Amino acid sequence: MPSSEKIIELQKLYQSSKKPLWMIHPRSKFYVYPYYLTLGLTVGVSLYYTGRALLGIKASK
């Protein structure tokens, strides 16, 4: 368990920041940005192939 000093430091960090909660921690960019990239790619590819299916375009062999 972290020391009480560390808990107070983290409490000050989280309560004094104007950033969204998920972006406050210094390591959060290493978790959030790859998530955004993966989410964007999967949604983009899904929409692309959904559009192709609706238009009846088949993959060439």
CA dihedral sign, ordered 24, 25, 27, 31: negative
pLDDT at 3 over 90: no
Residue 56 lies inside a defined structural domain of this protein: no
CA distance 21 to 60: 47
Residue 34 lies inside a defined structural domain of this protein: yes
**What per-residue confidence (pLDDT) applies to 61?**
78
Number of domains in the chain: 1
pTM over 0.85: no
Residue 58 lies inside a defined structural domain of this protein: no
Residue 37 lies inside a defined structural domain of this protein: yes
Per the CB < 8 A criterion, the answer to whether 14 and 22 are in contact is: no
Q: What is the pLDDT of residues 10-59, one digit of tens each?
A: 899 999 999 999 999 989 999 999 999 999 999 999 999 999 999 999 88
Q: Output the CA–CA distances (angstroms, integers) from residue 34 to 21, 29, 41, 59, in the order listed.
A: 17, 8, 10, 30
